[in-house]
Amino acid sequence: GQQVMQIPQYQHVQEGEDFTTYCNSSTTLSNIQWYKQRPGGHPVFLIQLVKSGEVKKQKRLTFQFGEAKKNSSLHITATQTTDVGTYFCARGAGGYQKVTFGIGTKLQVIP
Amino acid sequence: DTGVSQDPRHKITKRGQNVTFRCDPISEHNRLYWYRQTLGQGPEFLTYFQNEAQLEKSRLLSDRFSAERPKGSFSTLEIQRTEQGDSAMYLCASSLVEGNNGYTFGSGTRLTVV
């Protein structure tokens, strides 16, 4: 499957600042998933978005799926040091599709 | 522990040797996936199973790689005649076919080929 593009690749923020990572596809996505991987750890599933224009929140994390289902974003409000890690968006899953990961955005939070 | 288990956690092998990794998925999950991850990259798909059937194998995967899931439960990934380029983290994940298709990953097997 085609990859999804993520920007930025790296982001350093001061603790308490907000953070956003963007995921873009050249083709329409059936759904998008987001994962977090802590340093030295394995990817952990955060959420799946399916509907056009969908917005979901998990505490300080807000996930959006674009109206055209070609892009998505993850926004973290008031970052904490526990938010450090790499955030991956991934296309696919469902039916006979497998999940295809982007390159990820590595977030560093400076205390 | 009801998560995905992988064994071993680390493997160092000499170039040319064969290695085999094992994955025990979450028991209720009927899909099992193998991914490979190198530093600074996202997980790269290798192959996946639904129950015991291998449904897809990456075209990038050399024929030195083979995976099995003989009874639809645990899976093994074998790499024959290892090369230095095979050094990576090998991740196993499992999921359900229906409903929330989020993957649960294991902690991975880190392979170093010297």
Residue numbers in B near A99 (CB within 8 A): 33, 45, 101, 103
pLDDT of residue B1: 52
Select the residue from B101, B105, B107 to test the A interface by mutation, using most A Cβ atoms within 10 A. B101
pLDDT of residue A2: 63
Would the pLDDT of A13 be above 90?
A: yes
The answer to whether B77 and B20 are in contact (CB under 8 A) is: yes
pLDDT of residue B53: 92
User: What is the b/e burial string over A60-88, where b = at least 16 CB atoms within 10 angstroms of the residue's CB?
Assistant: ebbbbbbeebbbbbbebeebeeebebbbb
CB–CB of A101 and B43 under 8 A? Answer: yes
Give A63-101 pLDDT, tens digit per residue: 999 999 999 999 999 999 999 999 999 997 556 578 899
pLDDT of residue B97: 75
Give B43-58 pLDDT, tens digit per residue: 999 999 999 999 889 9
CB–CB of B103 and A45 under 8 A? Answer: yes
